[in-house]
Amino acid sequence: MARILVVDDTPTNVKLLADLLTAKGHAVATATSGAAALAEVAREQPDLVLLDVMMPGLNGYDVCRKLREDPATVLLPVVMVTALDSGDERVKGIEAGADDFLTKPINQAELLARVRSLLRIKTLHDELAELNRTLERRVHEQVTQLERLGRLKRFFSPALAEAIVSGGADDPLATHRREITVVFVDLRGFTAFAETAEPEEVMGVLREYHAAMGRLILEHEGTLERFTGDGMMIFFNDPVLVDKPGERAVQMALDMRAGIEVLTEKWAKLGHDLSAGIGIAQGYATIGAIGFEGRWDYGAIGTVTNLAARLCGEARPGQILVPRRLISTVESLVEAEPAGELALKGFVRPVTAFNVTGLRSG
């Protein structure tokens, strides 16, 4: 049902048009002056206006021009109605912004046909406007998602970042507590190397090292907490839960050790004496965004991170040190040898450590 406003200063004309349109199922509002017509348009927001030309005060042309000046009614269909010479009045009506023109006495069939045609056009305009609004909203949402995705990709793999943005995972930047497996990797001999090598050589080594380790982190679906020059911290089981995070961490560490061995052979040919040690621990940590506006990092805080870091610091070149608690969860997967009781800074009691030597055969 369309809403139609009939504007005419002659009551009989208003009644005739209102009765005809009402009989065809339209909702009809009326006005007997130009000022009243503008007020009614603002109040009722009709779908079409039948507008008499000759009225006291604001005539039909004045009303039509004002409707076209208002962004809210610039596309509102307007049919001008007059008993004057149709040729001259049609030109004036078009110049004022009218969509169609009828002469008095009105032919009812012609009136209804023109009304149907303009209402069809109005419907198409409304659908197009809604599509534009939907498009603008979707573009805004996508821009917001892209901004959030870019922020999350600083911390997580692209696939994981996209899952978070699409709702496939909880927002990890909110502070939360979870059991994770933490891996620390650190190059041995890097400080001495950096002191004697040219900066370009140092950057070249770091690029190779980061690229090789980065591929393995993504492959094993780890979360990179940070790079610290030659060191890095990765953890598993956050921001999304994974099966057997301890086994994933150890498997990644073994692959890292193999990858670093390839790199150290290459570096040795260039005169660089570099190797790596790895420490792994499992336990609860508080995780979330850490920093300030304009500079955020994704961090894990807890004893488990300290333990992994201390084990990494104690590891000799090529060693992967893990505590007893973790070795008990991965013993069916790996071969390990005792590494003794280690007195680690920040820990009251010695930590029983094991060196993971490789995967179990079979």
Q: Which residue has the higher pLDDT, 118 or 309?
A: 309
What's the confidence (pLDDT) of residue 95? Answer: 86
pLDDT at 243 over 70: yes
Which residue, chain included where needed, has tokens 């000022």? 35
What's the confidence (pLDDT) of residue 138? Answer: 80
Q: Return the CATH number of the domain spanning residue range 170-359.
A: 3.30.70.1230
DSSP designation for 189:
T
What's the confidence (pLDDT) of residue 110? Answer: 87
CATH fit for domain 3-130, picks 3.40.50.2300, 3.30.420.40, 3.10.310.30, 3.30.70.1290: 3.40.50.2300
Task: Report, as an integer, the average pLDDT of 16-23.
Answer: 90
What's the confidence (pLDDT) of residue 149? Answer: 66
DSSP 227-290: EETTEEEEEES-SS--S-HHHHHHHHHHHHHHHHHHHHHHHHHTT---EEEEEEEEEEEEEEEE
Residues 326-354: tens digit of each pLDDT:
998 998 899 999 999 999 999 999 999 99
What's the confidence (pLDDT) of residue 155? Answer: 55
pLDDT at 310 over 70: yes
* b (16+ CB within 10 A) / e for 108-124: eeebeebbeebbeebee
What's the confidence (pLDDT) of residue 139? Answer: 75
Structural domain boundaries in the chain = 3-130, 170-359
Residues 35-87: tens digit of each pLDDT:
999 999 999 899 999 999 888 889 999 999 999 999 889 889 999 888 766 66
